[in-house]
Amino acid sequence: MIQARSEWSVKPARRTCPTPAKVTVEGWHQRGWVHRLALSLRAARPHVAFDIRNHGKGGATSRDVAGIVGGDRAVDHVDYDLVFLGCGINDVWRRFQGRPDEAVDIDEYTRHMTTMLEQLNGYSRRIVVISETPFGPVENPSTVAGMNAELARYNRAAALAAAERGALHLDVWAPFTVAAEHLATATADHHAGSLWSDGVHLSELGDTLLLRQVETFLTEHRIVDKLLDPRLERERALDA
């Protein structure tokens, strides 16, 4: 969830000349696509103050996310310029894990998505519903295929809910599927790695692919530009 406002009175930082040093890079560490998106936005628009609130929670189902959305509004009363909303993979996975009490069926999932979109529409200028990424090799191939067939139903329900309530929809399923197929057939000297760390959670490569999809989507739809320039909001009004 993001707030953005222009701040042009920026004082230049004092520059110093550090002593030359040799640095050996032994590894790379990142904090997920949301953190990297925040850095990307701030680097591209240093004159804008972005207030970014990541309410993501590992292992959360749509039931949990609905509670987070409702609780955030009740406590903070913050209006948002841009909201990314996505959930569903744990709703499906819990059932295949044999944890039926935590699983969320498609009807309940649809109710949660509808409720959250209705709530967010009341205090958000632009909402992007982002699809879930497919399962990777977390189980045997036939089980994974069944899990992905079920998850695809949840993604379709989310896309329909977004369309009915004026939200944008970002479908990342196809890019992940194509990339996974290429990686699965790559030669032994191809060191790109896997999109998943365990078949469910994304690896650094998976996070990077997701980040690229989000950045491309923001650019193609000129979302940040329109939010920063109220005159461009007329296009959204005409669409509505």
- pLDDT tens by residue, 132-153: 999 999 889 999 999 999 999 9
pLDDT band of residue 9 (cuts 50, 70, 90) is very low
**Least trusted range by pLDDT, from 12-16, 114-118, 150-154:** 12-16
Q: What are the strands, taking DSSP E only, across the chain? A: 2-6, 48-52, 80-85, 124-130, 168-170
User: Span 196-222, mean pLDDT?
Assistant: 95
Residue 216 has pLDDT above 90, yes or no: yes
Residue 229, pLDDT score:
86
User: Span 236-240, mean pLDDT?
Assistant: 58
**Count: domains in the chain:** 1
Residue 10 lies in a domain: no
Contacts (Cβ under 8 Å, ≥6 apart) of 229: none
Return the structure tokens found at 137: 């090799």
Residue 47 lies in a domain: yes
- Cβ–Cβ < 8 Å for 111, 63: no
pLDDT band of residue 193 (cuts 50, 70, 90) is confident
Residue 12 lies in a domain: no
**Least trusted range by pLDDT, from 62-76, 121-135, 161-175:** 62-76
User: Span 162-189, mean pLDDT?
Assistant: 93
Residue 3 lies in a domain: no
Residue 166 has pLDDT above 90, yes or no: yes
Q: In this structure, how many other beta carbons lie within 10 angstroms of the beta carbon of residue 213?
A: 20
Q: Chain-wide mean pLDDT for the chain?
A: 87
Distance between alpha carbon 173 and the CA centroid of its chain, in Å? 12
Residue 30, pLDDT score:
62
What span, in angstroms and rounded, lies between the C-alpha atoms of 209 and 70?
30
Residue 9 lies in a domain: no
Residue 38 lies in a domain: yes
User: Span 71-80, mean pLDDT?
Assistant: 88
Q: Identify the domain containing residue 219 by its residue range.
A: 32-239
Residue 63 lies in a domain: yes
What span, in angstroms and rounded, lies between the C-alpha atoms of 222 and 176?
23
What span, in angstroms and rounded, lies between the C-alpha atoms of 215 and 218?
5
User: Span 96-103, mean pLDDT?
Assistant: 96
